[in-house]
């Protein structure tokens, strides 16, 4: 079979594309025809002989695959030939086939494609174990994620939100942080430009953060430890920056905080039941769309060393994936149930309070402008699910990368319009109203398309107020939705709302 081979330890450019024989199948093992392989940081360590697992040379890197079972060894019960599966093989994934213990093989959830299946368990498994089992993260606590746009970091951002935490995402670029916001981060810190300690103080009102998730190590580690709240938990996840931090022992003493190690691989070996339970919960979150992997780029098997180089160069956001062979499959459209509104909060901004009794006095008045809101791919997918409008320009991210001029999908125009109610709630509270209903729409136009990941906000005003029976009032509201960086609005409409 074809594979990318590590014949002697070194950097990704020393890997060779070649042939290797598939090892014989032992009892308890399965043979998988690989469709895709997730790219993880340990892959760059294993080829340099810097990882705890040290396979015999030559070997193919790649620890997490999706594919189809070609053969099963004796005593294999829970999977059979032809099953679509995910396997945590440790190495051997940058290849056409892999033999792996059946204990490390899981069925792919219904509806999930091979690309998503190949890159979800490792990162989510690590971050869920870290936040749930090691940090015991509680609803309402503050979680700081360093390297927040990396594989495990972005998983921690998403899971932190699912667990009800207030998430501060910290990363090195605006582009990376925009994706963190898409995934629900409440606050962002660009540590290549901003003072990490000062920003944490500012965002937490000097209280510090309850949990730090650190997959980087290096110089930022001590800064983050100094920024912890009383009884905080500092999670040591990895050392992507290369050097292992040395902490002064007085810091945990003064803060009453703990420094907690996270070793997901060892946890899965030592506590298989708990690990399986976590997998079950994660697959449930994935299936229901509460979490969904951000796919950075898909590489061919021949070009997979490039994926490792880009990971080392900090160019990958979310997950890089290697596609093995030429196959086609319907893309996975997860539906998001994360309730975070993806609003960039502006400190101190409060809605205007008006009285129903004298609302006519405010005709012609501007209600101001709302906070920015990022239109995420998850929101677009949810809208497609609700309306059954699955046009590829909205939901097929991969096709959009190839065919759209800027490589992005666009939101349905009616999705943009439907956000007007949410924006109005942000702008104004009308006291004395017991109920309100959408009465109609006089005109609506969508002059500019809203691309996935872009920011919009609304300028609102009261155009007219008319009497209705039973002391009701018809409010004619102007909604002008601004697209960041564009002179033309994304949507202009005159909404009619009846209030009673």
Ligand X SMILES: NC(=O)c1ccc[n+]([C@@H]2O[C@H](COP(=O)([O-])OP(=O)(O)OC[C@H]3O[C@@H](n4cnc5c(N)ncnc54)[C@H](OP(=O)(O)O)[C@@H]3O)[C@@H](O)[C@H]2O)c1
Interface residues toward ligand X, by CB under 6 A: 40-42, 126, 147, 149-153, 171-172, 176, 215-216, 237-242, 262-265, 311-312, 314, 316
The distance of closest approach from Cβ of residue 197 to ligand X in the complex, given in angstroms and rounded to an integer, is 16
By C-beta, is 151 or 160 nearer to ligand X?
A: 151
Spatial CA neighbour of 374 closest among 188, 184, 176: 184
By C-beta, is 267 or 423 nearer to ligand X?
A: 267
- Asked whether 65 and 98 are in contact (CB, 8 A), the reply is yes
The distance of closest approach from Cβ of residue 312 to ligand X in the complex, given in angstroms and rounded to an integer, is 6
By C-beta, is 264 or 424 nearer to ligand X?
A: 264
Residue 99 Cα distances to 90, 125, 129, angstroms: 11, 22, 26
The distance of closest approach from Cβ of residue 239 to ligand X in the complex, given in angstroms and rounded to an integer, is 5
> In which residue are the tokens 């906000």 written?
457
- CA-CA distance, 74 to 57, in Å (whole number)? 27
- CA-CA distance, 470 to 472, in Å (whole number)? 5
- Asked whether 113 and 329 are in contact (CB, 8 A), the reply is yes
The distance of closest approach from Cβ of residue 191 to ligand X in the complex, given in angstroms and rounded to an integer, is 7
β-strand pairing of 142-146 with 228-236? unpaired
- Asked whether 426 and 463 are in contact (CB, 8 A), the reply is no
Q: Which residue is nearest to ligand X (CB)?
A: 150
Spatial CA neighbour of 498 closest among 479, 478, 476, 474: 474
By C-beta, is 40 or 416 nearer to ligand X?
A: 40
The distance of closest approach from Cβ of residue 338 to ligand X in the complex, given in angstroms and rounded to an integer, is 20
The distance of closest approach from Cβ of residue 314 to ligand X in the complex, given in angstroms and rounded to an integer, is 4
By C-beta, is 195 or 431 nearer to ligand X?
A: 195
Count of other CB atoms within 10 angstroms of residue 354: 19
Return the H-helix or E-strand segment holding 461: strand 455-468
By C-beta, is 39 or 427 nearer to ligand X?
A: 39
The distance of closest approach from Cβ of residue 281 to ligand X in the complex, given in angstroms and rounded to an integer, is 17
The distance of closest approach from Cβ of residue 243 to ligand X in the complex, given in angstroms and rounded to an integer, is 9
By C-beta, is 36 or 240 nearer to ligand X?
A: 240
Q: What angle do CA 138, 141, 146 make, to 5 degrees?
A: 105
Spatial CA neighbour of 374 closest among 345, 350, 352, 348: 345
Residues 6+ apart with CB under 8 A from 254: none
Q: Is 56 helix (H, G, I), strand (E, B) or coil?
A: coil
By C-beta, is 12 or 489 nearer to ligand X?
A: 12
């Amino acid at each position: 079979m074809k594979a990318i081979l590590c014949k002697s330890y070194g950097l990704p450019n020393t890997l060779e594309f070649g042939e290797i024989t598939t090892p014989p199948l032992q009892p308890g093992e399965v043979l998988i025809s690989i469709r895709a392989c997730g790219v993880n940081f340990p892959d760059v360590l294993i080829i340099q002989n810097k990882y705890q697992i040290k396979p015999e040379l030559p070997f193919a890197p790649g620890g997490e695959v999706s594919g189809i079972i070609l053969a099963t060894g004796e005593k294999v019960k829970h999977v059979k030939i032809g099953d679509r599966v995910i396997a945590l093989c440790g190495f051997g994934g940058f290849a056409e086939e892999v033999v792996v213990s059946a204990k490390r093989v899981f069925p792919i959830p219904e509806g999930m494609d091979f690309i998503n299946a190949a890159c979800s368990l490792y990162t989510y498994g690590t971050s869920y174990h870290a936040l749930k089992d090691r940090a015991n993260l509680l609803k309402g606590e503050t979680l700081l994620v360093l390297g927040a746009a990396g594989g495990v970091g972005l998983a921690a951002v998403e899971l932190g939100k699912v667990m009800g935490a207030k998430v501060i995402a910290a990363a090195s670029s605006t582009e990376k942080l925009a994706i963190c916001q898409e995934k629900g981060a409440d606050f962002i810190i660009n540590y290549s430009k901003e003072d990490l300690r000062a920003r944490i103080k500012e965002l937490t009102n000097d209280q510090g953060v309850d949990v730090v998730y650190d997959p980087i190590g290096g110089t930022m580690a001590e800064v983050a430890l100094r920024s912890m709240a009383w009884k905080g938990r500092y999670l040591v996840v990895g050392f992507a920056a290369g050097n292992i931090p040395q902490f002064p022992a007085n810091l945990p003493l003064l803060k009453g905080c703990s420094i907690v190690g996270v070793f997901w691989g060892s946890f899965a070996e030592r506590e298989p039941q708990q690990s399986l339970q976590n997998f079950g919960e994660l697959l449930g979150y994935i299936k229901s769309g509460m979490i969904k992997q951000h796919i950075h780029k898909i590489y061919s098997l021949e070009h997979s060393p490039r994926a490792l180089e880009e990971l080392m160069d900090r160019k990958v956001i979310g997950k890089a994936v290697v596609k093995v062979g030429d196959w086609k499959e319907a893309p996975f459209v997860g539906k998001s149930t994360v309730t975070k509104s993806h609003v960039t909060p502006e400190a101190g901004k409060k809605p205007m309070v008006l009285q129903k009794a004298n609302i006519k006095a405010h005709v012609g008045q501007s209600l101001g402008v709302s906070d920015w809101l990022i239109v995420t791919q998850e929101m677009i997918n949810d809208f497609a699910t609700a309306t059954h409008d699955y046009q590829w320009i909205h939901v097929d991210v991969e096709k959009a990368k190839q065919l759209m001029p800027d490589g992005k999908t666009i939101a349905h125009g009616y999705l943009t319009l439907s956000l007007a109610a949410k924006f109005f709630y942000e702008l104004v509270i009308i006291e004395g109203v017991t109920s309100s209903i959408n009465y109609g729409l006089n005109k609506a136009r969508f002059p500019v398309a809203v691309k996935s990941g872009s920011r919009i906000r609304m300028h609102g005003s009261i155009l007219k107020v008319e009497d209705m029976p039973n002391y009701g009032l018809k409010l004619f509201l102007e909604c002008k939705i601004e697209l960041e960086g564009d002179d033309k609005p994304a949507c202009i409409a005159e909404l009619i709302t009846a209030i009673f």
